[in-house]
């Protein structure tokens, strides 16, 4: 559910493409666009299903389907390597904050338009910039301050305190972005872990944690078979989106393809308009543009900085 300019949810690759050049392979761009489309379709199905089914049930189903898909896909190759880690506490924390982000995002999706929720989640890079100063000892340069302020202004234009859009549920969308920023910071601290472990752990933790909540949910009298099919399709879309992202990051550096993840804002606007007859107003579009601009500039700024530093050794 939901994406922001970043590597795939819970996924990392350990073989970046040849470093250096500014050229971004077309296949990497198409893979990222396909991945963001998968995530937007997943969000669309989630918003549709959330009108009838409990939010925790949808979150449980989403991560359970992904856990099963990853097991089928990767377990034959690495077996117990999927759960082998030297940093169990950090892995558990990373999984918990990602599931918290999913819960908040789904709760926001239930009440808010698709494009607006997606836009608010794209404040994640701004929050990551702030958290990196606190937890990674990175410097808050004037340029970074400018990006943070711009992202905050864009968020205010989307939410607009005092308007109809400023509902309590908007805090869930912002909470989702905050939890996801913590997820990203933790992912940076786990950079030496196998990407397959990083992909599987959050799904496993989500399945286990949300399973404890299932007996306490306000279950509907019956779940239509059509809804059950849509739940499975949504989980598979999320898993396939992760796979496409993985392939994209094998063809190009993360910093090179990150700007193209903003296609999700385009997909969410178009699909939200078609599926739910909801199109952002002028203020919201302006806020989305500012959030996109600040996020893109952050990505380009960090890419330029990384070129000035010798790349770290690749870990297989």
Rg of the chain on CA atoms, in Å: 19
Q: How confident is the model at residue 125 (pLDDT cuts 50, 70, 90)?
A: confident
pTM: 0.81
Would the pLDDT of 309 be above 80?
no
The answer to whether the CB of 114 falls within 8 A of the CB of 277 is no
Most confident of 22-36, 86-100, 136-150, 283-297: 86-100
Q: Which residue has the higher pLDDT, 13 or 131?
A: 131
Tokens of 86: 């030297």
Backbone angles phi, psi at 139, to 5 degrees: -85, 135
pLDDT tens, position by position, 163-173: 665 567 888 99
Would the pLDDT of 186 be above 50?
yes
pLDDT tens, position by position, 198-227: 889 999 999 999 999 888 888 887 789 999
Backbone angles phi, psi at 16, to 5 degrees: -65, 155
The answer to whether the CB of 213 falls within 8 A of the CB of 99 is no
Most confident of 12-26, 36-50, 233-247: 36-50
| pLDDT for residue 48 | 95
Q: What is d(CA 295, CA 18) in angstroms, rounded to the nearest whole number?
A: 24
pLDDT tens, position by position, 56-71: 999 999 899 989 988 9
């Amino acid at each position: 559910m939901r994406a922001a300019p970043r590597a795939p949810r819970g996924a990392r690759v350990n073989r970046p493409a040849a470093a250096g050049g500014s050229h971004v392979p077309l296949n990497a761009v198409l893979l990222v666009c396909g991945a963001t489309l998968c995530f937007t379709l997943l969000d669309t199905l989630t918003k549709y299903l959330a009108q009838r089914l409990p939010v925790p049930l949808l979150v449980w189903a989403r991560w359970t389907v992904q856990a099963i898909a990853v097991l089928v896909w990767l377990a034959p190759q690495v077996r117990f390597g999927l759960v082998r880690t030297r940093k169990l506490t950090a892995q558990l924390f990373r999984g918990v904050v990602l599931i918290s982000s999913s819960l908040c995002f789904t709760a926001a999706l239930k009440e808010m338009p698709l494009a607006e929720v997606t836009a608010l989640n794209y404040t994640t890079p701004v929050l990551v910039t702030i958290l990196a100063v606190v937890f990674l000892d990175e410097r808050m340069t004037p340029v970074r301050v400018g990006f943070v302020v711009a992202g905050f202004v864009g968020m205010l234009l989307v939410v607009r305190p005092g308007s109809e859009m400023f509902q309590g549920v908007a805090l869930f969308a912002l909470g989702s972005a905050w939890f996801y920023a913590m997820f990203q910071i933790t992912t940076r601290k786990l950079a030496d872990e196998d990407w397959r472990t990083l992909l599987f752990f959050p799904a496993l933790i989500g399945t286990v944690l949300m399973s404890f909540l299932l007996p306490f949910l306000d279950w509907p009298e019956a779940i239509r078979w059509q809804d059950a099919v849509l739940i499975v399709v949504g989980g598979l879309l999320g898993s396939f989106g992760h796979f496409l992202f993985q392939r994209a990051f094998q063809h190009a550096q993360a910093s090179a393809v990150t700007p193209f993840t903003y296609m999700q804002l385009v997909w969410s606007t178009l699909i939200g308009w078609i599926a739910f007859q909801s199109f952002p107003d002028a203020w919201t579009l302006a806020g989305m543009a500012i959030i996109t601009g600040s996020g893109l500039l952050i990505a380009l700024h960090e890419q330029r900085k990384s070129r000035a530093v010798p790349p770290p050794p690749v870990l297989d």
